[in-house]
């Protein structure tokens, strides 16, 4: 075995995960490469892969001296949180809306089912932001996938994307996306709770503004006892690229400069508070931690 601390941590993580699973005999749950169960105090968090994206290198700007491969594989993770009384989903994946361009997306329902979670039992869905890869999975063939769920999201986000003139009032490259988002949003038969600023959703679950990627982009802060986990959504897109160089921006960032400020502030908080985090498009489902390395950061897997 290598002396590399990252490798040791990965081994510890897999041992911790298998110990944890064997301790929950009442759940019929088989962990796969596409699902991973974690705990945050009394909360159970199941990370689920909705598939992946192969993003062209041109989607990333301000890469400095980094020479990128022609495409970067980005994961597509969402999270199911069990509080004991509620089943809360964070984002819903792409559904069928992006399969033509990204055929490996839209696997969420199969992954939920594999993890023993019935979509009908989901009580709340937190939408980090309204890009199609986060809200597409709310609908299937014109019907709601989660018929008993209430949506929670930033009021700024909802107002921005549903503005009547939005499809013609975004940068040229984002017009098709804005039209798609609006067509999905207009057909959502879900109860909505729109939140201005940070919102306490109870039982250790908070919605916290993290703007820049989109105007109302928000992350989720979980806390239970002394344990915490940040679900960053798209406050970062590409790891390890943006760990090494947080200044790298993504073509769909609504406000790249604000996205960078948000990312840097989050990275500093994660390091200072030694808090674990996950992010939608990282390759890997487990908890991560960050260390500072000069002007850049190093991400590594944390214990489950």
> What does the binding site for Zn ion look like in residue numbers (CB under 5 A)?
133, 234
Considering the complex, state which of residue 16 and residue 208 has its C-beta at the smaller distance from Zn ion.
208
Considering the complex, state which of residue 44 and residue 97 has its C-beta at the smaller distance from Zn ion.
97
Minimum CB–partner distance for residue 186 and Zn ion (Å): 20
Minimum CB–partner distance for residue 280 and Zn ion (Å): 5
Minimum CB–partner distance for residue 132 and Zn ion (Å): 9
Considering the complex, state which of residue 55 and residue 304 has its C-beta at the smaller distance from Zn ion.
55
Considering the complex, state which of residue 124 and residue 234 has its C-beta at the smaller distance from Zn ion.
234
Minimum CB–partner distance for residue 135 and Zn ion (Å): 10
Minimum CB–partner distance for residue 83 and Zn ion (Å): 25
CB 76 within 8 A of CB 93: yes
Considering the complex, state which of residue 43 and residue 260 has its C-beta at the smaller distance from Zn ion.
260
- Three-state SS letters, 191-250: EEEEECCCEECCCCEEEEECCCCCCCCEEEEEEECCEEEEECCCCCCCCCHHHHCCCCEE
Considering the complex, state which of residue 134 and residue 152 has its C-beta at the smaller distance from Zn ion.
134
Minimum CB–partner distance for residue 62 and Zn ion (Å): 19
Considering the complex, state which of residue 124 and residue 133 has its C-beta at the smaller distance from Zn ion.
133
Minimum CB–partner distance for residue 222 and Zn ion (Å): 19
């Amino acid at each position: 075995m290598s002396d590399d601390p990252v490798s040791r941590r990965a081994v510890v993580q897999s041992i911790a995960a298998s110990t944890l699973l064997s301790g929950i005999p009442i759940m019929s749950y088989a962990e796969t490469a596409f699902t991973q169960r974690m705990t945050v105090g009394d909360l159970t968090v199941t990370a689920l892969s909705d598939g992946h994206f192969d993003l062209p290198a041109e989607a990333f700007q301000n890469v400095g001296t980094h020479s990128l491969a022609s495409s970067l594989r980005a994961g597509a993770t969402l999270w199911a949180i069990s509080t004991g009384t509620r089943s809360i989903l964070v984002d819903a994946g792409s559904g069928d809306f992006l399969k033509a361009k990204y055929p490996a997306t839209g696997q969420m329902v199969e992954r939920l089912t594999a993890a023993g979670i019935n979509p009908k039992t989901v009580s709340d869905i937190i939408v980090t932001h309204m890009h199609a890869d986060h809200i597409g999975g709310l609908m299937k063939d014109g019907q709601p996938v989660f018929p008993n769920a209430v949506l929670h999201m930033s009021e700024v986000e909802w107002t921005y994307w549903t503005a009547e003139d939005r499809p013609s009032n975004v940068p040229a490259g984002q017009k098709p996306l804005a039209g798609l988002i609006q067509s999905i949003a207009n057909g959502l038969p879900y109860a909505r709770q729109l939140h201005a600023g940070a919102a306490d959703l109870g039982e250790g679950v908070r919605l916290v503004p993290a703007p820049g990627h989109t105007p109302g982009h928000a992350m989720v802060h979980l806390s239970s006892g002394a344990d915490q986990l940040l679900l960053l959504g798209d406050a970062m897109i590409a790891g390890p690229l943006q760990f090494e160089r947080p200044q790298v921006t993504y073509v769909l960032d609504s406000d790249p400069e604000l996205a960078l400020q948000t990312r840097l502030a989050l990275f500093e908080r994660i390091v200072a508070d030694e808090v674990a985090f996950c992010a939608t498009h990282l390759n890997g489902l487990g908890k991560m931690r960050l260390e500072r390395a000069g002007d850049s950061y190093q991400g590594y897997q944390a214990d489950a």
